[in-house]
Amino acid sequence: MCPHCQKAMVIFELEGIEVDHCLHCRGTWLDSGELDHLIELAEVNPGCFTDALHQAKKGSKKEICCPRCNRNLHSVHIHDDLELDECPRGHGIWFDQGEIRRLVESFKEGEEGAVASFMANLLKSELASETS
Amino acid sequence: MLISIMALILMGLGAMCGGTFWGGAGAFLGALGALALWAVLLAATFLQGEQLVLLCSGGQKIEKEDCPRLYNVVEEMTIAAGLPKLPDIYVIEDAIPNAFAAGRNPKSAIVAVTTELLARLDRDELQGVIAHEVAHIKNLDVRFMTIASVMVGSIVMLSQTYVRLMFIGGKKRTCSKAGVHPAFMIAGIICALLAPIAARLLYFACSRKREFLADASAARFTRYPVGLASALEKISGRVLSSEKLNQALLPMYIVNPLQSMSAVGMFSTHPSTDERIKILRTMGGRAGLMDYENAFRKVKGKKSRCLGQRTLTSGESRGIQAREANDNPAESLGTLERFQEVTDLIGRMANLLMMQCSCGVKIKVPEEFDQDAIECPRCGTVNTLPRAKEKAQEEAPAPNLQQGVEQATVAGAAVAEAAFQTLRFERQGKGWESFRCSCDRVIQIAPSFRGEFIKCPRCKREVEVAEKVEEEVVTEEN
Amino acid sequence: MDPVLLILLALGGAVALSVISFIVLYNGLVTLKNQAKNAWAQIDVQLKRRHDLIPNLVNTVKGYAEHEQTTLENVIKARGQAAGAQGTNDQIQAEQNLSGALGRLMLVVEQYPDLQANENFMSLQEELTSTENKLGFARQLYNDQVLFYKNKLETFPANMVAAFFQFQPEPYFELENQQERQAPEVAF
């Protein structure tokens, strides 16, 4: 279920990673295990990426709920300008439309770049249409 | 054995109860009464019926097509153990790798594994785990442990009643009769308090013994103790597939996999996993029960033994050579393939519709999804759902149907993938109707059926059910 | 009591006891023999399954590995011999040959990545692997049963019953050549 529209999400299997995607609001849900798997596949040291997640400022409670456990999601601020929604129990992360693209942009440099470009590749066509 | 000591405790407790209240003859009656209590409770538990359904409420029974690897491994172990029948196989969607067996007799047993277990273990390891569970079935462990746990239960019950009675009624009795010495009373209460603890300890010892026996049998069935050992290592979370990664991402997990292992209820009655792994590893290329016993002595010290003399002599006398490690890459699926296998299995369990985009991206659509087309986020291709294609078909003139009931025509000329071909059935009236799906299964439609699609229970194909169209009948008559 | 009656009673008791134990021993032996037979039936099932899988496998491989005609023909020939073998010992021998031929085929096949990626082939391979494993486990069970049976036949007191009714030990299903024993297990 999409946290925003309360509609069924479609699961895409991209390179062995399952991404839950809402076709109404173009939001994306990444299960924690999938995120794990994604970093593994991108073959980078997960340290920097997770550090960014850890250091990120925990924000306030949001109105939307985790599709797995139905608890309210909490916002997290990464690199100051990017706000993601995270399940308080660690079920995964919710990306609103456009947030994946911004995440990719803000992680362009260094080792995280590999993860970012990997992610960009996953939703190639959709990201392209967003920027145009 | 241990269970007979438990029975003795039970009878002793009963005798004490009887003795305190009614004197000498009461002791004998009390002992008998305690046994009767146990028998009644046991009968009640057995009559309660199989609780398997409850146990597996989160799981789904799978068939061979769903997960050939698991099914085959269970089949292999059934043969190795010489069970009379293949146990039912259940898969539970869970992030904790675990497995269990249930069923009081080998003919109606089940084996359940979690999806995480399937994703993590390779074939040899899975074989080890399944062999362990099959050994539980073969050794009638479930039945035995039910008997033992009911005995613990009746001991606890008896001791509680005794202590209560002593506190409530005891005072009056001692004052009025003064026949019972107060020291005896105190000793009785202490005994009654200690009995349940002793019984529980015995129960755990029993359970651990059974675990060791199951491990030993597993080694014997597979002829490969290393498989089970490395499976246990993976399950206990010590050797995760990518240690660093998982350490770093620990906060991202649903439940801390390192902590959760100690919390798995089933394992509390198990011997320490470290010890089990160590024993299996010290078997050193041998796989017999005798060899397990020897390894056990090496690990635990000279005098201890784990398998009864009877089990040992009924088996082989010389010990058995283990087989070689299986290092053929063709056999073992890679982690990615295994992961995919499991995600497909979960999808099938959740009744998702599987589609494939032309760029290779797999799309899984839940039943309640309400749009007709899905744009692939990778390549931008618009994929039409099969049921939408059906709708398009419906607008085109439908093929005429004869009067017969078995009218299921393949309406998928325009449908590209054969796998998603959909059947169509046109209703003849409003009553009960039936037709044959292309997989040869007869599907019945109730008069109350109002939907547009019905799912074939065998092949899971969706069959379109159309209302009777009046004009067409007219043209047919012409 | 009359001493004669007492002696008669004792004799009668002894005879009854020996008759009962005789029956129990005899039944035990028959059960063991039947268990061994059942285990053999399981081996038979798996051998048949393997025979059924081979034509499929050969057809799938043919499309990819045209240069391996001789290996494929060997497999088909070995299958034919195994299917037509008469008597336990012949059958064991023929199945061993088939295992060897299959093992060589699977080694050859490793050089064809296209074939390895073929989904049909992959599921066939899983089936064959599993059938081969099941065969191994069925053999293991059979040998265990034969061993129990043999032990019983040779030890007192069952050996008396066995000699009287001429129970014969069943042959082990053993692979003589160590390398051949390994070949299928490594290859699948």
Model confidence pLDDT, tens digit, residues B354-370: 777 777 677 777 777 77
Q: CB–CB of A124 and B379 under 8 A?
A: yes
Domain boundaries, chain B: 1-345, 346-387, 395-477
- Chain B: residue whose CA lies nearest to A16: B340
The pTM for the full model equals 0.68
Identify the CATH assignment for C3-187 out of 2.60.40.420, 2.40.30.10, 3.40.50.1100, 1.20.1440.20.
Answer: 1.20.1440.20
Catalytic residue among B133, B211, B293, B462: B133
pLDDT above 70 (res B108): yes
DSSP C44-97: HHHHHHHHHHHHHHHHHHHHH-GGGHHHHHHHHHHHHHHHH--SHHHHHHHHHH
Which residues in B168-177 are b (16+ Cβ under 10 Å) and which e?
eebeebeeee
Q: Taking residues B317-345, what's their average pLDDT?
A: 60
pLDDT of C126: 81
Which residues in B23-46 are b (16+ Cβ under 10 Å) and which e?
eeebbeebbebbbebbeeebeebe
Contact: chain A with chain C (3+ CB pairs below 8 Å) = no
- Chain B: residue whose CA lies nearest to A39: B245
Across the interface, of B68, B82, B221, the residue whose CB is closest to C126 is B68
Domain boundaries, chain C: 3-187
Distances (CA, A) of C31 to B397, C25, C27, C28, C134: 68, 10, 6, 5, 23
Q: What is the ipTM of this complex?
A: 0.75
Contact B383, B421 (CB under 8 A): no
Helix, strand or coil, per DSSP, at residue B242? coil
Instruction: Return the structure tokens found at B4.
Output: 């007979």
- Range of lowest pLDDT (B340-354, C38-52, C70-84, C142-156): B340-354
pLDDT of A10: 81
Mutate which of C32, C124, C129, C143 to disrupt the B interface (most B C-beta within 10 Å)?
A: C129
- Range of lowest pLDDT (A62-71, B327-336, C132-141): B327-336
Q: CB–CB of C185 and B68 under 8 A?
A: no
Across the interface, of B72, B323, B326, the residue whose CB is closest to C130 is B72
More confident residue, B134 or B269: B134
For residue range A10-29, list pLDDT tens digits in order.
888 776 677 888 877 778 88
pLDDT of C161: 76
B133 is catalytic: yes
